[in-house]
Structure 1
Amino acid sequence: MDSGRKSVRRPELPTIARGEEETVTERKREEGEETIFRTCAWSPPGCHPVGCGLQVHVKDGVVVEVEGDPEHPITKGALCPRCLALTEYVYHEDRIVHPMKRAREDRGLDKWESCSWEEATDLVADAAREIIEQYGAETICVFGGTGREANYWYTQWANLVFGTPNAVYAQAGWSCYGPRISNTAFMLGGGYPEIDYAQKFADRYEHEGWVAPEVVVCWGKEPLRSNPDGMYGHALIEMMRQFGTKVICVDPRIHWLGSRSEIVLQVNPGTDTAMAMAWIYVMDKEGLVDREWIDAWTYGYDELVERCQTMPPSKAAEICGVPEDLIWKAARMYGSARPSALAWGLAVDENPNGTQLGQCLIALMTITGFIDAPGGTTLGMGDDGGNRVHDGGGIDASQRIEDENDSTLMLALKNGIMTQEMWDTKRIGVDKYPAVGSIMWTAHPDEFLKALETEQPYKVHMAGFVSSNPVGTAISAEPQRWYKALKQLDFNYACDCFMNPTIMSCCDVVFPVASTIEHDGMVVTHYASNASFYGAQNKCVQVGECKSDIEIMMMVGKKLHPGFWNRFETQEDYDNFHVMRSWLPFRELRDKVVVMSEEPYYKYKIGKLRPDGQPGFPTTTGRVELYSLMYQNWGEDPLPYYEPPVYSPGALPELGREYPLMMITGARQQEFFHSEHKQVPSLRQLTPWPMVDINVYDAETYGIEEGDWVEISSPYGSIRQLARVVPTMKKGVVHCMHGFWYPEENGEVPNLYGNWKSNVNMLMPNSVNGKLGFGNTFKQMMVSIKRVDGRGGPNDPDANGIVLEPSRQEEFTVQQTWRPADESTAVYLQK
């Protein structure tokens, strides 16, 4: 299908001459014996690209304190505990600060030895060169993690360093951000939708023309815990307190925000699409839509309504386990609000029926007429940023930039690093799931795992792990399968800050990566697909021999493809060429620290979304495609439909007798980013053990009390976590904490830092994807739960099978009441 879009427009940034704006302070200043740097945080350690403002106090080249930057236009001095604990992270005794190597036969053993950068990069380049010559570049793959800055670089490692099309994001069904990006691309043409909290304006809530949302819906999203992707959770609280914004939550749990909301719809896991269709039914039936806007700017509304007539609230109530009258009330409240906004979260992605849910939610954002309107749901500019740095962004392949300076793929093709034939024919899984291939520009993760195991369509020989830990506890379903497959490869390397199960079990070389305060760079909210501001990561200190992801990539790239990579002498050269280009030189951003996007409202009315400068959306029809022609193009139903969870007692009644509960996972912890930070004392104290939340009635049924170690089992495996009995969990549903491991334990095979003990991903299968290839069962898996014999507490092996090493027991002992490790953490908690 001809998308009608061959190129994309650049976002228009304000140009600010030095000294023109007095409110912008210098990036560093001297106070006594300290130098104080202003910078915006990203990763490592892991975080989404939110760019919180930091002031880093440095004395004699060492960080002595990290505090919030009061000059930052959004965070204004506030920080989460992870940033407050940066000093502990940066100088942790277990940090990798030198390149290391190990013999292949010693995989799984702690036989690492330090080596020089020259030797380490030679080992990787030589192995790659030999494999490329003997088997082909496609037999090399590069893994990238979630949300981190390394997301920008792993596709570039693959395409521009090794010349392979196989960049891999290992989460089953690309179940993080990818499904929402696909919905956005297919229905809106690109540009991620986010609620309006005046995030694009320097004067924020005082900005002329901004109004607060009357109602905000948080659908499967708890922004206070993670500030996901670029939405600051505290801003929603500010609007609730200052402007009376009301909140509706859709979630099986009643979390902190839910307890302050007007309505919480505690849906059965995996049934959200039925709920969303019922909302559309109510809003159309009661005239709570902007029909004039719909007629002018949408395609297929009548067909959408006809489809949603099959899901009246009475039917949705039965499917979702929510009272019918509450569905009517919530839909009326949202539809009647002037204006309203909707925030969608990870629950959309981690669901095989999630792309259909996303269709409904985009419809709900738009049919009110408050899309890209003050107080509504904003859109990014016509270029989502994917064409410059995040080649996983939300633009169809046919719409990609063909400017040599921007597109990673075009750079690889034009410089002879990779061929078009290889890209078209050797990327694993995109023949089966072309929609995923067009949007995410990676291999399909589930199909790639099959290829590793079966050696079909060809055998993979080498892997790189760029801040990615697929054997670990945060990303990959069935991690034991990834472990068995990856340890067989000929050569593996990693770029990371700490040892982890993947590196210990599978790798031969590890590069030490500089943290967010140890390297220069840029952070843009929502990966630039809906930019609030452009923030500078300013280098404050040097730790050991650590280098940035870009510096490491350049070193290896120069040894394999000098014709391309030798043009860059420094990281700044590369930043200005491939990252900052079309925005502003890095040094200018560095000195300003933050530049606001200042994007206008109603961009679709004034030609700011389409490449031809005409009003409308960059879709085939120029409208919001509620009847999705792109879905139809991929062989999918162009209208939303509900499918029940694959693994549920209702769908599999016989198996349901053995596994009667539904499990969800993935709720965020403020003190951790997925599997990271578990070795940082002040953060680990906040949650020393993995917790499973269970409703009080279910706990009574299964003889479970608060603090019991329990075993959670599915048809795929069993794990143990500590029970937390709560009244806020939906009856019949448990929530298992994800990302938990025990870095204080023995790291060698088979223990791998306790990787298999509490790893919730061992309960989930791969390849339970939707028709387009997205989604999996992370938030809808049938399980059983039982108390483990013994009540001796967390260090009783009879109770839980998890024993800390004696040297570390005191550091991580569970306390009835605990004290923060440092004063800065105490201040945060008091706030």
Structure 2
Amino acid sequence: MLFDYQEFLDGIDREAYHEGEWQWEEDGYTVTRTYTYSAPGCHDSCGVLMYTKNGKLEKIEGDPLDPCANGRLCMRCLNLVEGVNYADRPKWPLKRVGERGENKWERISWEEALDTIANWIHDNLDAKGLGRESIFVNHGTGRNISSWVPFLGGACLGTPDIGAIGFSGYSCYLPRTCGTAAGIGDFPIVDASEGHADRYNNPDWVRPDVVVVWGCEPLKSNADGYLGHWLVACMQQGTRFISVDPQLTWIGAHADYWLPIRPSTDLALALAWLNVITTEELQDKEFIEYWCAYYDELKEHVAQFTPEWAAKVCEVPADLIRDAARFYATAERGAIQWGLAFDTQVDSIQLCQTVSNLMSVCGNIDKPGTNILVRNGFEINPGYATAQLYCDPDTFAKKLTVDLVHPGCTQFIGMADCDAVNRAFETGEPYPIKMFWSQGANGISCSATAAPRVHKMLEKVEFCVVADPYMTPTAVAYADIFLPLKTTAERDSMRVWWTPLRAMKAVSEWYEAKSDEELIVALGNKLNPELFQKRWPTLDALLQDYLDVGFNLYDPETGKSYKSAGRSKAGMIEVPDVHTDFWKKHHDDGTCSFKSLVEDRCGYEYDDFCATYYKYEKGLLRADGTPGFATPSGRIELVPFATFGAWGIPPLAEHVESLTMRRWMEDPEYRAEYPFICINGSRSYEFFHSENRQQATMREFHPMPLVKVSAQTAEEYDLHEGDWIWIENTEGRCRQKVHIDPTLNPNYIHAEHGWWFPEEEPAFPHLYGTFDCNINNLTASYETGQGGIGNPLKSVAAKIYKCTEDVNEPTPGEVVTKLGGFRDDYVATEPFAWTHDNTTREGGRF
């Protein structure tokens, strides 16, 4: 054993780290024990010590007394000081004075900014009989965006249309949450002891024997609230690994098995693993007998998907598929850690459900060292449903849903459907989008699929507000009003995503910037004073309500709370005994407050739910308290007939190729023209999506966007390390610098996303250079999978060639902002969706 947790704990000088104190003075600094959460940052919330002097953040350290991260920090936290103190951060609200894209602004007060917004909505929507559904609210990622921004949209602006701009299909995290909810009823994560305050010393915890790291690089991404170093600690204690990834990652280099599958063929591999497990009877028979439904139907279905079949699809040897499946299935305690790659393919929802089946048939559910089932800390669950709670029912009924653009699909996601939003922008059907609100989102640089097309959509919008800590390409291009937001060092807030419940305490101020939470209070009191002055007049009231009832509808006279259960307020259901565990534990001594969480508990509190194993045996998963799972049958539904049936999704999974990959595989001329599969969007140590590009230290480590090519490709194309090359297909092109990867398959290239250059010219046509290097110039809108889930972002066909010094050639930025884009034939009138037999409906992609 290389890692001894008790030895680590014994080595901490607890007096030097002021155990039990949340703040103290040290060497001229005020030191605050708190937690981070973007921006800038990532999806995680790590325990830190923030050192301030005269109200300015000077340095940051990991807190070894924090059981969540144990003092370990990645580059994003260690370099937080640069992001917080970035000299060109906007200091106060701004109003555009030139044309859009000219980057000409004047300083205004918050009062003027909010009045301008309120007056525009009144004069251009309310007074003209246009509904608030004509406002679209766009969010980025991190910072509790599934709660704060939908709440802002519904309670402040009164719109049901909240989501991601240009993000065809629900292609981020939701496929995994929905895919597992359908079969298991709850969300599984790898048990690396993170549910316990005493972590690796917990007597009930046992490290996993085998972990499959599938479609992610957790050390770089720390994705979805999961810290990569947790897996390294397991490795040091003896856990062995399988890596499923087209690229050789650090985990892959240390794994017993590496399966470099062809991008977006993950479902074929998962079906083949189930074939091996069921035909060789490697399943956990007792767990299946007592706790699973439809095993025989699953076994019969996967009998056709042999390793030999999958080998042809995935382009890895059948024996390797078979051996890796056995290695996982025969482990006493196996677990699967998955990533965004699961969400970015057209068979996404069935892939996520199928891989949850792998966990289930092997009995690797909610026992120590497997995939444990988790929920938000103390059941504080504000999410997209908050928009429905406070939006006018008639307005909410007009929400842009998936069936409007993908016939046969059923809306079962809280956010507005991405393609329905795209179509409303482009055609005005079923109603026009008049106002665009972007919060913490740099859409055209990062999330916008078919970025040039999205630019065409947004340049036509009548009124745009951008709220962000930094001036971004999206802000320069479209904003009429810019609202400066605080960073993690300046905000009072909480993180409830899994456990523990964590608090962020402001340690500094940045001029007139407001936090997301302060903006909600200010905007709500301006636009919806009757509600806000009664319930959320101040930030303190908002934070306490978040803890008390999670923004649910609440009747203080009866003590009853209600949440959404449909598309109208008639569908509200009562929530009994809100946050029972937290309040029973703390209410009597009066410490159930944000202040107490910060000062009395040093910013965190673990609940019992995520620390408890075998919850299905103990009646902790079902609302009625009976043993079983939170599914219609009470069992894990290996074939989710009821739920997938209600959602219009075939319950028996089959691998589907995207339209592009189908053509790439079947059309020799097309493949000759575009010989590479371009993998898009993998993470780096320095950046989180489009964040941190303005930090000098990060750029010293990673100055320019890199496209990986194989050594064979470099030789064939006469490419050298650092050469600029064009990446191009039928949708558009961009340029990035060559990085030669000798382990990469010669048929693949790998390009980075989220790039822009804050040090360069912001005004049109350059726009911080964001379109010049944007790999989303090559992606397409309106192709999605079953249920309107998934989009093929990580398997794009492309060609490459060297950049030349042709000064007369327009840059991609000029093509997009001045010349109308790479295509002039976009059509947003023909529906597209996969049918139940995985053929395309008439009309093809938009």
TM-score range, shorter chain: 0.7 to 0.9
C-alpha distance 735-488 of structure 1, shift in aligned 2 (>3 A): same
Give the AA of the match of 1:129: H
Give the match for residue 711 of structure 2. 696
> In the alignment, does 2:82 pair up with 1:88?
yes
1:788 aligns with 2:803: yes
| 8 Å Cα contact 1:248/1:264 also seen in 2 | yes
Correspondence 1:42 to 2:37:
yes
Check whether the contact 2:211–2:242 (CA below 8 A) recurs between aligned residues: yes
Answering whether residue 307 of structure 2 is matched by residue 313 of structure 1, we say: yes
Is residue 139–residue 458 contact of structure 1 (8 Å, CA) maintained in 2? yes
Matched, 1:491 2:485: no
Structure 2 counterpart of 1:331, which letter? Answer: A
How far the C-alpha of 1:420 sits from its partner, in A, is 2.4
- Return the match for 2:356 from 338, 355, 362: 362
For residue 277 of structure 1, report the CA deviation from its aligned partner: 0.3
1:433–1:609 distance in 2 versus 1, CA, 3 Å: farther
Equivalence for 1:126: 119
Cross-structure match for 2:482? 510
Secondary structure in 2 matching 1:535: strand
CA contact (8 A) 2:41 2:77 kept: no
Report the CA distance shift for 1:504/1:774 in structure 2 as closer, same or farther (over 3 A): same
**Equivalent residue, structure 2, for 1:16:** none
SS at match of 2:660: coil
Question: Which of 588, 606, 631 is matched with 2:618 structurally?
Answer: 606
Question: Could you tell me which amino acid in structure 2 is paired with residue 128 of structure 1?
Answer: I
For residues 382-401 of structure 1, what are the alpha-carbon distances to aligned partners after superposition, in whole Å with 9 as ceiling and x for unaligned? x788973222xxxxxxxxxx
Q: CA deviation at 1:142?
A: 0.5
Gaps of 5+ in 1: 1-21, 392-406, 413-417, 791-795, 804-831
The residue that corresponds to 2:198 in the other structure is: 203
Q: Cα distance, 1:422 vs. partner?
A: 2.5
In angstroms, what is the RMSD of aligned CA positions?
Answer: 2.1
TM-score by length of 2: 0.85
Q: How does 1:316-355 map to 2 (within 5 A)?
A: 316-355=310-349
Corresponding position of 1:676? 691
Change (3 A) 1:368 1:797: farther
Aligned residue type for 1:699: A
Kindly indicate whether the alpha-carbon contact (under 8 Å) linking 1:40 and 1:538 is maintained by their aligned counterparts in 2.
Answer: yes
- SS for the counterpart of 1:443 is coil
1:140 corresponds in structure 2 to 135
Partner of 2:569: none
1:470-619 matches, within 5 Å, as 470-471=443-444, 473-524=445-496, 527=497, 531-567=498-534, 568-581=536-549, 582=579, 583=582, 584-591=592-599, 592=601, 593-598=603-608, 599-619=611-631
Q: Give the counterpart of 2:433 among 436, 439, 460.
A: 460
The AA in structure 1 aligned to 2:619 is G
Percentage of identical aligned residues:
36
CA offset at residue 678 of structure 1?
0.5
Please tell me whether the aligned partners of residues 168 and 444 of structure 1 are also in contact (alpha carbons under 8 angstroms).
yes
- Which residue, 269, 278, 283 being the options, matches 2:272? 278
Could you tell me which residue of structure 1 aligns to residue 56 of structure 2? Answer: 62
- Where structure 2 has 5 or more consecutive residues not aligned to the other structure, the ranges are 1-16, 550-578, 583-591, 814-846
Equivalent residues in 2 for 1:655-734 (5 A)? 655-734=670-749
Deviation at 1:705, TM superposition (A): 2.0
Question: What's the offset of the Cα at 1:329?
Answer: 0.8
- Gap change, CA 1:33 and 1:580, over 3 Å in 2: farther
Shift in Å, 1:140? 0.8
Residue 644 of structure 1 corresponds to which residue in structure 2? 657
Maintained 8 Å contact 1:271/1:645: no
Deviation per residue, 1:347-378 (Å, 9 max, x gap): 11000111111121000111111201100001
Q: Tell me, what secondary structure is at the counterpart of 2:769?
A: coil
User: 1:514-555: per-residue Cα shift (whole Å, max 9, x none)?
Assistant: 11110111123xx2xxx2311110110111111111111211
Question: What amino acid maps onto 2:418 in structure 1?
Answer: P
The answer to whether the 8 A contact 1:466-1:496 is kept is yes
Distance in 2 separating the partners of 1:802 and 1:564: 47
Alignment match, 1:106: 99
Q: Deviations over 1:246-296 (max 9, x none)?
A: 010100000111111111100001111110000000011112111121121
SS at match of 2:768: coil
Q: 1:30 is matched with which residue?
A: 25
Amino acid of the structure 1 residue aligned with 2:116: L
Counterparts of 1:434 and 1:26 in 2: how far apart (Å)?
57
**How much does 1:147 deviate?**
3.0
Question: Cα offset for 1:432?
Answer: 4.9
- Aligned residue among 715, 735, 745 for 2:760: 745
Paired residue secondary structure (2:203): coil
CA distance in 2, matches of 1:435, 1:237: 44
Counterpart CA distance in 1 for 2:151 and 2:667 is: 43
SS at match of 1:78: coil
Aligned equivalents of 1:361, 1:799: Cα separation in 2: 47
Contact 1:344 1:361 in 2 (8 A): no
- Partner secondary structure for residue 657 of structure 1: helix
**1:141-163 C-alpha deviation (Å, 9 max, x unpaired):** 11011233334222112111111
Change (3 A) 1:387 1:169: farther
Between 1:625-634 and 1:323-332, the stretch displaced more is 625-634
Residue identity in the other structure for 2:362:
T
Aligned 8 A contact 1:713 1:784 in 2: yes
For residues 138 and 764 of structure 2, the distance between their equivalents in structure 1, rounded to whole angstroms, comes to: 22
635, 642, 652: which one aligns with 1:623:
635
CA contact (8 A) 1:704 1:786 kept: no
Q: Name the CA distance, whole Å, in 2 between partners of 1:511 and 1:436.
A: 37
Whether the 8 Å CA contact 1:433–1:444 is kept in 2: the answer is no
SS of the residue 2:754 aligns to: coil
**Residue in 1 that maps onto 2:13:** none
1:228 pairs with 2:206: no
Alpha carbons of structure 1 residues 637 and 672: separation in structure 2 relative to 1, 3 Å: same
Other structure's SS at 2:212 match: strand
SS at 1:565's partner residue? helix
Indicate how the Cα distance of structure 1 residues 580 and 561 shifts in structure 2: closer, same or farther if over 3 A, else same.
same
Residue in structure 2 matching 1:180, options 176, 180, 184: 176
Aligned-residue offset at 1:437: 7.2
Determine the C-alpha separation between the residues in 2 that align with 1:219 and 1:169: 25
State the shift of 1:460 in Å. Answer: 1.0
Task: Give the TM-score normalised by the residue count of structure 1.
Answer: 0.87
SS of corresponding position for 1:326: helix
Q: CA deviation at 1:800?
A: 12
**1:787, distance to aligned residue in structure 2 (A):** 2.0
Deviations 1:160-194 (A, max 9, x none): 111111002222212110111111221122x3210
Cα contact 2:409–2:648 (8 A) shared by 1 = no
| Alignment partners' CA distance in 2, 1:557 and 1:346 | 34
Contact 2:133–2:398 (Cα < 8 Å) also in 1: no
Aligned equivalent of 1:115: 108
Change in Cα spacing, 1:439 to 1:595, as seen in structure 2 (3 Å) is farther
- Structure 2: how far apart are the matches of 1:500 and 1:553? 21
Q: How does 1:355-394 map to 2 (within 5 A)?
A: 355-381=349-375, 388-391=381-384
Where does 1:162-173 land on structure 2 (aligned, <5 Å)? Answer: 162-170=157-165, 171-173=167-169
Cα 1:300–1:589 shift into 2, 3 Å: same
Of 180-189 and 537-546, deviating more is: 180-189
